[in-house]
Amino acid sequence: MNTLSALTSTPRIDAAAITAKQLVMSAEERVKRAQIAETAKTFEASFLSVMTQQMFEGVKTSAPFGGGNGEAMFKSILTDAMSKEIAKAGGVGLASTIQREMLKLQGLKE
């Protein structure tokens, strides 16, 4: 086997060496990791929502295209939607830090 084919070939898994318990544990770990990642992203979106609400609090708009009761009611919905999109697009790096710390607390490696 030449070097190129050794680098590009997929490793083979010895099915006899993998026990059912190891498969279950890895499935449970994958689920836990996915939950941790989702929780970290949700926390980052909540944090960004609070930050954007504070940012827009000082912005004043006037009629005929802004202001009024409608804007006051829907401003929090707008900032929540914007923060979720920011978090989905990669955020500000808070989710990865939170995820790393949550993995440590659960005794899992990164």
Tokens linked to 9: 């070939």
pLDDT of residue 104: 92
Over residues 49-80, the pLDDT tens digits come to 999 988 888 777 776 666 777 777 788 888 89
Q: How confident is the model at residue 28 (pLDDT cuts 50, 70, 90)?
A: confident
C-beta separation of 103 from 110 below 8 A? yes
Model-level pTM?
A: 0.67
Instruction: Give the C-alpha separation, 43 to 50, whole Å.
Output: 11
Single-letter code of the amino acid located at 35: Q
C-beta separation of 61 from 67 below 8 A? yes
- Of the CA atoms within 13 Å of residue 105, those in its CB half-sphere come to 8
